[in-house]
Amino acid sequence: MSRRLAPQPGEWIDRNRPVTFRFEGRPYSGFAGDTITSALWAAGVRVLGRSFKYHRPRGLYGLDGSDSNAMFETRDVVNIRGDRAPIEEGMDLRAVNTFGGVERDRLRIMNRFGRFTPVGFYYKAFHRPRSLFPFFENQIRRVAGLGTVNSGKALRHTPKDYAFCDVLVIGAGPAGLAAALAAADAGARVLLVDESPRLGGSLTWHGNLDDSRDRLADALRRVEAHQRIQTRTATCVAGLYADGWAALIDRLRLTKLRARAVIVATGVFEQPAVFPHNDLPGVMFAGAAQRLIHHYAVLPAERPVIDTRPEGDSPAAALLKREGINLLAGRFIARARPAGGLAGIRGVELCRVDERGLPRIEQRAEQLACDAVVMSVGWTPNDTLLRMVGTRMEYSAEREQFLPVELPGGVFAAGKVNGLVGLEDRWADGLHAGQAAASALGFGAAPGGSRPAPAGPAINHPYPVSDPDEGKNFVDLDEDLQVKDFRNAIQEGFNSPELLKRYSTVGMGPSQGKHANLMALRVLAKERGEPLAGKQITTARPFSTPVALGHLAGRIFTPYRHTPAHAFHTERGARMMFAGTWLRPEYYEVVGKTREACIQEEALHVRGAVGLIDVGTLGKMELGGPDAVRFLERIYTGRFDNLKVGASRYGVACDESGVVIDDGVVARLGPDRFYVSTTTSGADAIYREWQRWALCWGLKVILNNATAHWGAMNLAGPRARQVLQPLVDISLAAADFPYMGVRECRLDGVPARVLRVGFVGELGYEIHVPAGHALGVWNRLMEAGRAADVRPFGVEAQRLLRLEKGHIIVSQDTDGLTQPFEAGLGWAVKMDKPFFIGQRSLKIHQRRPLKRTLVGFQTDEARPRTMPRENHLIIEGKEMIGRVTSIAYSPTLKRTIGLAYLPPSMTAPDTRFTIRADGGELVPAQVCRIPFYDPAGERQRMTTPEEDAR
C-alpha cells in the first residue's frame, strides 16, 4: 500500500530515479532523494525499529536527524540513522537491536516486565552473590547495545579538508539566509552550511508554504548569485571549538574550518506531548508530518488527530485542518489506545484541561478513533552548538523555554534559536546578526536598531504531560524513560539535573536527549516545586550529531623517519625496528640463521674484522659563538673548558632534580665551534631546552639542531683504519688522529666530520657527512672495505658490544629517577664546577646514602638454561633487592654478562646474588668489574708501543 502523494511543489524526491533496497529481507523501492525512513513510510511500513529497553515497536517520530528508534544496519555499517541517511541502490537493511527481526523480536516480552525494572533497577540486583554477576553481566551486555559491528571488514579511508571564511552561518532557514546575505553584502566571505540536502530550512516544510515560496525562491537566487557566499548542504556542523574552529561533516569527509565569526541559526527541536503510548508508530511530531508531505510527498497517516497546545502559532494545524484532520482544542490526550501487535494506535482518549492548561485526567472527555497523533506542543532551541562554545542559556518563564542571554565573543544567534516565531522577525533577526558579525570583523556598519524580541503568546506548553498510573508514557525514547522513572529517581535523591541525568540516563542515548532533556527538567522542577524560571542549562559537549570514527581519523598520518642509508638496509635484508620515530636496522637477516646467531656473528665480526653501523638517528647539534663553551659547562655534568680543539669527550646531562636525561659526545671543532651528539629519542627535547637555557642565561651561543642535515655511520673493528684511510685526505695514524679525536676532512671528496670514538670498544670512526651524501659514502665504504670484509651490523649487535664494554644506555640502564652516582657515572660529574643543571640537587643527593648502584655481573653458568632477561629481579629471601637492566651472552667472552642495580652494600666484585628468571627459575650470578672486555681500553686506542712512546 503506497502512501506516496501526488507530486508536491518543491519536493525533494526525483520520481524519475527509482531506487530499490531491502529491509528485513523484503524488497522495497523509493526515489532518489528519499531517506530510508521516508521510503519505508511511503511503502506503508510502520514498525521501523524496536525500543532500547522494552523492545516496543517504534516508527518515525521527528524525522529531524534524532530518530534513534529508526536506526538500521547493513553488513558494513552500523547505527545508520534512517531519518537522515539517503536510500542507496541495493542497500540491505535491518533494524538494529532486535532478537529475531523487527516484527518478531523475541525481547518484546520485556514490555511486560516493566514493573520489575524501574529506573536504575540494575544497581539494585545481580551483585549478590558476587560469583553470579559475570553471568548476569553477560546477559545485560547482550541485550544492551544497538548495532552489531562487523569486525571482518577493511578500513575505508576518507580524506580531510580545511576551509576558511569570515562568517560561518549555520542553518539555512530564513534567519540563516538573511544573515548570510547581510554579512556578504557588508563585504564578508560567508560560508552557509545546512545539514539538509537543500537550503531553506523551515521554509521548505513549515506552515503554509504558499505564503513563503516567493521569499524563499528570491533568497535562494540571491544567495546563489552572491560572489562572497559559498554554500554547503548535507553538511553538519558537528562541533564548535575555541577561536572559530569548527568540524563540518558531510557524507565523505571532515572539513576543519576556521571562521572569524559564527552565526548560529539552527532553529528548534520539537518537544513531545507525554501520554501513555505516545511512543507507538503513528505518534509523531508535526514537523515530521510536514516534512513527509513537503519533502517526500508521503502521507503521514490515514486518519491522524493533531494535538496542538497552546493554540498559538500553528501553521501545522492550519495545514492539516485544511486536509480534514482532527484538531484537539481545549482538550488533552489522556492516553493513546494501542492497536496491538505491530499496528500502532487505534485511537486516543481525551480529557479536559484546567485553567492553566494542565490535564485533568479524571475528567474524561471523549474518545477519538485515529491511526496517528501529530504533536505540536512546543519547541526548544537547537542550542547544542551555542552551548558548546559557552553561551549562557536561561529559562524564560514568559516564553516557557530556554533563551540565549549571553554569547561569547564572535558568536551570534539568529532566528528561532532566539525564541522568535514570526517569519518577518526571524528574517530581521538574521539580517541583524549578519550585519553584527560582519561589522565586528570590520566589514560595514554595525546594524541600526535593536533585534526583534520574542513576542506574542508563548508557543510552548509548560507541562504537556498526562501521567496516569497505567500505561507507559515516554519522555526519552532513546532510553525508554517514562515520567515515573524521573519521579522515582528524584525520590531516591537524584534531585539535581546532573544527578538525574546520570541515574536515569536521560539524554545519554544516540539523540543526546534532543527531545527529552527539557521535559526531564520540567519533571524535576515540578517534583521539587522549584520553577525553571531563571535556571541555566549546562554546557554541551561535542558532537551535536555523532560522527564516524573514520571521518575523524581521515587518512591516518603517522610519520616515521628513514636514515639516508635506508635503501641499503632494506636491500641487505635488515630487520628494521623503531627507535623513537626512526627506523633502524635491528640486525641483518641471513637465510637459515636464527636472529640470535645473526646478531652474535655481527658482533664477532666487529671484534675480529670490521663492521659498519648506521648511527644517523643520533641527535646532532652544532654550537657556536663566544659563550659556547660556557654553555656546555652548564649543560653537562663534566668539564669542557679544557677540551682541546680537535678532541671530544663524553658528556652526561641531568635535569634540575639531578636525574640523568641524556648523554652524548661533545666534539670541539674550533675554539668556539662544537659538534655534539645526543641520544636518538632525546634530540628534539634537548635542542628545545638548550634554546631556553641559552635565552635564560643570556649567553652568546648559536644552536643548530643539525640532526637531519647529517648522516652518520660508525666504522668499527681492528681493520677500520685500513678501510677508511684510502678514502680520506687526512692521516689516520694514531699519532695524528688519536682516540677521542675529531677531524674535519674530505672523504672521497665529500666534506666529513670524523670522530674517533669507541662506543663498541674497538678502533672506530664515527663518520658524519651531509645527509645527501650519506648513502653514497656508506656504499663507498662497503665497496672499499670489500677486501677487509666489512659487514654491516645492527642495533642489537651494537648493544651487545657496548655491554661488553660496560657502557650504559640512558633510559635502559637508567630510569626516570636515576641520578648519575647510582648509575656509575660519578666519574663524569664534576661537582667542583661553579654550576651545571642538576648540580644543586645532586649536592642534596650526595648527602644521603645511595639506595642502589649499577654494577656489572656474570652468571655462574656461561649460558644459563633459563636465560634471565632485562628487568628480571634480583631476589634475596622474599625481598626484591635489585634488577637486571642489560644482559646478553657474549660470544667473545663466552659467558653471560649484564648490568644490574644492587644495594650499595653488594657491589664488591664476586658478591653473589640470585636473579629470578622466567618461570621463577633462580639463576645464580656474581658481581664483576666492568668493562668486561678489554678493561684497559687498548683496543679502542689501538696504539702501538712505539706510538705510545712518542
Instruction: Pick out residues in 296-355 that bind another protein (CB under 8 A).
Output: none
The single residue among 26, 130, 322, 356 that binds another protein, judged by CB under 8 A, is: 130
Write down the least CB distance from residue 715 to another protein, Å.
25
> What is the CB neighbour count within 10 angstroms for residue 733?
13
Query: Which of 144, 99, 117, 138 has the alpha carbon at shortest distance from 481?
Result: 117
Write down the least CB distance from residue 618 to another protein, Å.
16
Instruction: Pick out residues in 903-942 that bind another protein (CB under 8 A).
Output: 916
| Bridge partners (DSSP) listed for residue 753 | 744, 768
C-alpha cell read off for 873: 629481579
- Hey, is 593 helix, strand or coil? coil
The single residue among 126, 410, 833, 926 that binds another protein, judged by CB under 8 A, is: 126
Whole-angstrom Cα Rg for the chain: 38
Residue 54 makes contact with another protein by CB under 8 A:
no
The single residue among 546, 573, 776, 826 that binds another protein, judged by CB under 8 A, is: 546
| CA 53 to chain centroid | 30
In three-state form (DSSP H/G/I as H, E/B as E, the rest C), the secondary structure along 4-55 is: ECCCCCCCCCEEEEEEEEEECCEEEEEEECCEHHHHHHHCCCCCCEECCCCC
Describe the crossing of helices 209-225 and 423-440 by its angle, rounded to 10 degrees.
20
Question: Rounded to an integer, what distance in angstroms lies between the CA atom of residue 270 and that of residue 760?
Answer: 75
Residue 137 makes contact with another protein by CB under 8 A:
yes
Write down the least CB distance from residue 743 to another protein, Å.
29
The single residue among 197, 357, 444, 542 that binds another protein, judged by CB under 8 A, is: 542
- Counting every residue written for the chain, the total comes to 950
321 vs 916, beta carbon nearer another protein: 916
The single residue among 13, 247, 481, 754 that binds another protein, judged by CB under 8 A, is: 247
309 vs 845, beta carbon nearer another protein: 845
DSSP labels, 529-541: T---TT-B-PPP-
95 vs 763, beta carbon nearer another protein: 95
Q: At which residue does the C-alpha cell 561533516 appear?
A: 249
Q: Are 435 and 428 in contact (CB under 8 A)?
A: no
Cis preceding-peptide flag for 543 (omega within 30 of 0) = yes
Question: Rounded to an integer, what distance in angstroms lies between the CA atom of residue 837 and that of residue 840?
Answer: 8
Write down the least CB distance from residue 206 to another protein, Å.
28
> What is the CB neighbour count within 10 angstroms for residue 321?
14
Residue 548 makes contact with another protein by CB under 8 A:
yes
Instruction: Pick out residues in 881-910 that bind another protein (CB under 8 A).
Output: 883
Residue 835 makes contact with another protein by CB under 8 A:
yes
Instruction: Pick out residues in 252-271 that bind another protein (CB under 8 A).
Output: 254, 256
Residue 541 makes contact with another protein by CB under 8 A:
yes
Instruction: Pick out residues in 147-176 that bind another protein (CB under 8 A).
Output: 147-156, 158
Residue 848 makes contact with another protein by CB under 8 A:
yes
The single residue among 299, 342, 552, 782 that binds another protein, judged by CB under 8 A, is: 552
Write down the least CB distance from residue 375 to another protein, Å.
26
The single residue among 225, 445, 549, 591 that binds another protein, judged by CB under 8 A, is: 549
> What is the CB neighbour count within 10 angstroms for residue 819?
23
Write down the least CB distance from residue 126 to another protein, Å.
6
| Strands 411-413 vs 254-264: parallel, antiparallel or unpaired | parallel
Q: Are 163 and 239 in contact (CB under 8 A)?
A: no
29 vs 841, beta carbon nearer another protein: 841
Write down the least CB distance from residue 42 to another protein, Å.
26
Question: Rounded to an integer, what distance in angstroms lies between the CA atom of residue 797 and that of residue 892?
Answer: 12
554 vs 776, beta carbon nearer another protein: 554
Instruction: Pick out residues in 800-829 that bind another protein (CB under 8 A).
Output: 811-812, 815-817
Question: Rounded to an integer, what distance in angstroms lies between the CA atom of residue 272 and that of residue 478?
Answer: 13
DSSP E strands in 451-521: the ranges are: 474-476, 481-482
| Strands 673-678 vs 411-413: parallel, antiparallel or unpaired | unpaired
Question: Rounded to an integer, what distance in angstroms lies between the CA atom of residue 696 and that of residue 71?
Answer: 60
Residue 405 makes contact with another protein by CB under 8 A:
no
| Bridge partners (DSSP) listed for residue 897 | 858, 888
Q: At which residue does the C-alpha cell 654550537 appear?
A: 623
Q: Are 24 and 102 in contact (CB under 8 A)?
A: yes
Number of chain positions touching another protein (CB under 8 A) = 114
Cα dihedral sign for 197, 402, 179, 387?
negative
Residue 100 makes contact with another protein by CB under 8 A:
no
Residue 234 makes contact with another protein by CB under 8 A:
no
245 vs 650, beta carbon nearer another protein: 245
319 vs 483, beta carbon nearer another protein: 483
C-alpha cell read off for 11: 519536493
Residue 657 makes contact with another protein by CB under 8 A:
yes
Residue 122 makes contact with another protein by CB under 8 A:
yes
Burial class of residue 156, CB neighbours in 10 A (0-12, 13-18, 19+): exposed
Instruction: Pick out residues in 851-880 that bind another protein (CB under 8 A).
Output: 869-873, 875, 880
29 vs 79, beta carbon nearer another protein: 79
Write down the least CB distance from residue 100 to another protein, Å.
14
Write down the least CB distance from residue 711 to another protein, Å.
22
Instruction: Spell out the alpha helix ranges (H) of 259-358.
Output: 286-296, 315-322
Write down the least CB distance from residue 634 to another protein, Å.
11
Residue 392 makes contact with another protein by CB under 8 A:
no
Write down the least CB distance from residue 860 to another protein, Å.
20
299 vs 499, beta carbon nearer another protein: 499
Q: At which residue does the C-alpha cell 528485513 appear?
A: 24
Write down the least CB distance from residue 398 to another protein, Å.
27
Describe the crossing of helices 517-528 and 497-504 by its angle, rounded to 10 degrees.
120
Question: Rounded to an integer, what distance in angstroms lies between the CA atom of residue 618 and that of residue 582?
Answer: 10
Write down the least CB distance from residue 801 to another protein, Å.
17
Residue 554 makes contact with another protein by CB under 8 A:
yes
Instruction: Pick out residues in 565-604 that bind another protein (CB under 8 A).
Output: 577-579
Contacting range for another protein; rule: CB under 8 A; set: 219-227, 396-404, 689-697, 923-931 = 689-697
Write down the least CB distance from residue 667 to another protein, Å.
22
Residue 77 makes contact with another protein by CB under 8 A:
yes
